[in-house]
Structure 1
Amino acid sequence: MIKAIVFDVDDTLYDQAHPFEQALLSVFEPNDLRLPNLREIFNQFHSQATIEAINTKKISTEKILTAKLNATLESLALPTFSPAELAKFWKSYSSQLHEIHLFPEFVHLFDQLERFFKLGIITNGSVERQLSKITQLKMFNWIDRENVLISEECQMAKPDPLIFTTMNRKLEVSPSEIAYVGNRYDLDVRGAKKAGWHAFWFNHRDLEESNGDIVADQTVSNSEELIELLEALVTIAE
């Protein structure tokens, strides 16, 4: 029986595409003939093979994502961003992150979940940036800070099963009693399943499995389906 549910942050609790697209528009003019559909750029960026697990003491998260961004632009036959354009992009993106909010109906969902389950967060990234997002999303209304694991802080990153095992110990539950909700097959599903957890894949970007040798326990394609899945767990727990 599931006793704890742990969540990813980026593009799982909020729509990551919107701040990304607004940051692109800060560099590209809306009527720029070079500019394809903004969502196409985001989807390509989002599906790039992950390199976030690189030791963040050696390479900053921003440098990693900058490399991914320029690789994405190049793959779409767009000019890569100059240092000045990259600075403008990241300034706009950081500003937009102060405006993010939970997917609709998630507030009511978390009100229900906290009554029956231990809750946590595992996220890759820098402590400063990820804590800022978590605070903006008001997740500390339901989740204790000690139950938030950020890769830079603990020097482990998804999909390493050790970061999931560390959360086991924090929540004092066995692997078979915990479920992870995330939007990335390569990071979230693979990491959670290798740690012995249940894995719920929130695949609202309709991405393909990469090296699909591991199967998610549940796959949902939109926030409504995710809410229905988690509310079913509440019903079982009542």
Structure 2
Amino acid sequence: MDINLTHTGVFFDVDDTLYDHLMPFRKAVDAVVGVNETFPYEKAYHRMRYYSDILSLEMGGAGKMEEGQATEIMRRRRFQLTLAEFGIEVNEQQSAAIQAAYIGCQFDITMFDGARALLERLNRAGYVVGLITNGAEAHQMSKIKAMELDALIPPDRQFVSGKVGHDKPDRRIFDYVNEQTGTTPSDSIYIGDSWRNDVIGAIEAGWSVIWFNHRSAKPESDHLPHHIASSYEELNRLLLRNEIRSV
């Protein structure tokens, strides 16, 4: 599938798209459980993301996910459910310790190689560059602040589902972004790693999609992303090649 050549908006997911979200997970699990190099961290990480989404929806979505006892229980529960799939049973105290370690290193963020440079190049080329991320507003904004993204992406183009009121893959968050930025589905590209949230969500909203599949995940439905990239080098070629005009 080809990307429409008249795009003006390029929007990115945050977790595991702009920075490596696996590292906080791995550090937290290692610190408490002490698993070894043979443990399938990437597979377990994807399952943790799955349980985060499911449990969040059961609580009412990201808009309900600010600090509170129910939120903390959910966050601990996702680790218990994930690790149980891999034969590791953790009790309440251990899951709380994993969650504490996870939060403790989640804001020590290093963007993927080439991510900041690509954002800068897209801005110089005249594109409307923004973020669409699932999560509680304060939690996600702390990550955005840690990456110092305000200098590259204005706050009014940073869309957090907990504030908007709709979580990806609900197309309403994509519709809202179009309304707020003066873009349309036909001139918008979305880049994200999650098949369920990013690929399905954006395609259902009529956007073009680049699946940032840097972890060699498998498709989960019959939806067809317009392109697949596994690195920022590939994203550069796709987004800034001559066929996609500056606006």
| Common topology (TM > 0.5) | yes
Residue 41 (str. 1) matches residue 44 (str. 2): yes
Q: Secondary structure at the match of 2:129?
A: strand
Q: 1:187 to 1:40 in 2, by over 3 A?
A: closer
> Matches of 2:21 and 2:99 in 1, distance apart?
14
Show the counterpart of 1:99.
108
Alignment of 1:93-132 (within 5 A): 93-115=102-124, 116-132=126-142
Distance in 1, matches of 2:74 and 2:134, equals 12
Deviates more, 1:138-147 or 1:62-71: 62-71
* Residue among 4, 21, 26 paired with 2:31: 26
CA contact (8 A) 1:182 1:202 kept: yes
Deviates more, 1:101-110 or 1:49-58: 49-58
Kindly indicate whether residue 82 of structure 2 is the aligned counterpart of residue 72 of structure 1: yes
CA distance in 2, matches of 1:50, 1:58: 13
**2-side partners of 1:43 and 1:191: how far apart?**
17
Residue of structure 1 in register with 2:196 after alignment:
186
Q: Is the 8 A contact 1:164 1:192 kept in 2?
A: yes
Matched, 1:223 2:223: no
TM-score by length of 2: 0.85
Distance 2:210 2:71 in 1: 26
CA offset at residue 47 of structure 1? 5.5
The offset of 1:216, in angstroms, is 0.5
Per-residue CA shift, 1:13-59, capped at 9, x if unaligned? 00111111011122123669xx8344443244345694244414556
Structure 2 portions without partners, runs of 5+: 1-5
Matched with 2:211 is: 201
Q: What do residues 105-155 of structure 1 show as CA deviations (whole Å, max 9, x unaligned)?
A: 222211111121111111111111100011111111111112112111121
Q: TM-score, with normalisation over the residues of structure 1?
A: 0.88
Q: Secondary structure at the match of 1:187?
A: helix
Alignment match of 2:174 (pick from 164, 168, 171):
164
Q: Percent identity at matched positions?
A: 29
RMSD: 2.4
Contact 2:107 2:143 (C-alpha < 8 Å) held by counterparts: yes
> For the Cα contact (< 8 Å) 2:29–2:35, is it kept in 1?
no
1:17 — aligned with what? Answer: 22
Which residues of structure 1 form unaligned runs of 5+? none
Matched letter for residue 25 of structure 2: F
- SS of structure 2 residue aligned to 1:204: coil
How much does 1:175 deviate?
0.9
Contact 2:202 2:209 in 1 (8 A): yes
Other structure's SS at 1:236 match = coil
Query: Cα distance 1:78–1:8, how it changes in 2: closer, same or farther (>3 A)?
Result: same
* Aligned residue pairs, count: 234
The alignment partner of 2:130 has SS state of strand
Contact 1:53 1:158 in 2 (8 A): no
3-state SS of paired residue (1:237): coil
Q: Which moved more, 1:69-78 or 1:39-48?
A: 39-48
Partner amino acid, structure 2, of 1:177: D
